[in-house]
Structure 1
Amino acid sequence: MPAAVTEKSERGARAALDHWWTTHRYLELTGDASPLEEMSGSGCGSCVHTSEFWQDVYTEGNWSSGSGREPTEVEVSLSGQKSDARFAFAVDQEEYHVWTPAGLVLNDMHRHFADTKQWGARARYTEDGHWIVYDIWMYYDGREDADGEEDGET
């Protein structure tokens, strides 16, 4: 984990988001979810879904070239006590494939959402002295998640 993730500041929160995406790429390339799970809150449903998906890919003997996703145009808002952060950002994503051991492409339709998509996330500074991402989502048609729910916000 990068040292900056331990800073209770905007810089630390941003470092956590960047590192979350680094662990996501590692998961895509290896099927090992442990680094992503360490950077994610236990209640992060999309994090769990992502981990399960990629673990299944590798359990079935397949592998991936990875999507190369990276957050750009990141806006960070900290709470008054600087212990919670909310992010708005874009994600640049390269095309990627999932391959079978026989060399066949499983996702010939490309699990490629778009060149750039708008995302949101939330992070929290933990009692352990570092940030974790506890919620992350892609905007669908102007909504915060696929169900159009606001993830419990009032």
Structure 2
Amino acid sequence: MRFRAPSRGLALSAALLLSLTACAGGDPEEEATASPTTTAPASASDGTASEGSSSEGSESDVPEEGEASDATSSDADSTEAGGSGDGGEYVPASEDGPAQNVPKPQMPEEMKEETHEGGTAAVAYWWDTLYYLQQTGDAGPMLEVSSEDCAYCHRYASELEALYAEGQWHTGSKPQVVSSQVGGDNPQKRALALTSLITLGESTHFDENGGIVKDGSTPEFKDDPWYNDVRFNPEKGHWDVTYTAPGGPENE
């Protein structure tokens, strides 16, 4: 089976890296023949944290008996831009500002198992963490499942952290891993090579003044092939992404 990187896939790569070229710290793992497997994406938590609010005021602000209070506290106003889902209602990013109280992705138990299914679950979870980074500027979850060899992962993390530090933000939708096919298996190095089909909604990049940054925005993509190397890390107890790039290797 042959996968080819379409022009839209290359455009997605450029936008995801904010005009940086996707790269890796080394050659892909040596491949051996393996039976193709197709899996559904790992599910991320869709739950939101309980809504909370707080208010402070002097004695003069306290309403008299029988008088309704007009003082309210907004979750979005009390949460820093791009905040994680530690409290308050999730508010998607928009032209009005960055996302608020973004639910943090939960690592699936399956990716803690040294199996083909665990490797494919790791790819789906990695895309969940990339979306979380894009919505919050928090690279922690993605870097936890990205090896030091994954130059793409670390460069993109640095770019997004800097972007949010400057007050910029992204809209967008959660990527969907439609399927993942194992193209190579290297048991000695505990490594798998996979090609996944990714569906991703359009996103808009806003600068610190609320202006649209066209080079950082992306159109909608459907079933675009992306290539990943993953390796099981026994010290961490789960799979790590070691390489990622748009398109895929040629598989006869």
Counterparts of residues 5-154 of structure 1 (less than 5 Å):
5-76=111-182, 77-80=184-187, 83-107=190-214, 110-112=217-219, 114-128=221-235, 129-139=237-247
Distance 1:131 1:70 in 2: 19
Larger Rg: 2
Contact 2:179 2:196 in 1 (8 A): yes
Q: Name the CA shift for 1:109/1:57 in 2 (closer, same or farther; >3 Å).
A: closer
TM-score normalised to structure 2 length: 0.51
Shift of 1:48: 1.2
In structure 1, how many angstroms separate the alpha carbons of the residues matched to 2:230 and 2:215?
A: 34
- Residue identity over aligned pairs, in percent, reads 27
Give the SS at the match of 2:179.
Answer: strand
**Residue 217 of structure 2: SS of its match in structure 1?**
coil
How far is 1:81 from its partner? 5.0
Contact 1:71 1:90 in 2 (8 A): yes
Q: CA deviation at 1:23?
A: 0.5
Aligned to 2:81: none
Q: Distance in 2 between matches of 1:98 and 1:124?
A: 32
1:111: Cα distance to partner?
A: 2.8
Residues 26 and 93 (structure 1), Cα distance of their counterparts in 2 relative to 1, 3 Å cut: same
Contact 2:201 2:220 in 1 (8 A): no
TM-score by length of 1: 0.81
Contact 1:28 1:67 in 2 (8 A): no
Cα 1:5/1:109, change in 2 over 3 Å: closer
Query: Does the 8 Å contact 1:97/1:108 carry over to 2?
Result: no
Q: Which structure carries more relative contact order (alpha carbon 8 Å, separation 6+)?
A: 2
2:194/2:229 contact within 8 Å kept: yes
Letter in 2 for 1:21: W
- 1:36 is matched by which residue type in structure 2? M
Cα separation, 1, equivalents of 2:211 and 2:171: 13
| Superposition deviation, residue 58 in structure 1 | 0.4
**Cα deviations by residue, 1:79-106 (Å, 9 ceiling, x for unpaired):** 2458211111121111101123433212
Task: Point out where structure 2 has 5 or more consecutive residues left out of the alignment.
Answer: 1-106
Please tell me the residue identity of whatever aligns with 1:121. Answer: N
Q: CA deviation at 1:117?
A: 2.1
Computed over aligned residues only, the root mean square deviation of the Cα atoms, in angstroms, reads 2.3
CA distance in 2, matches of 1:116, 1:17: 15
Q: Is the 8 A contact 1:8 1:82 kept in 2?
A: no
**Runs of 4 or more above 3 Å deviation:** 112-116
Aligned to 2:93: none
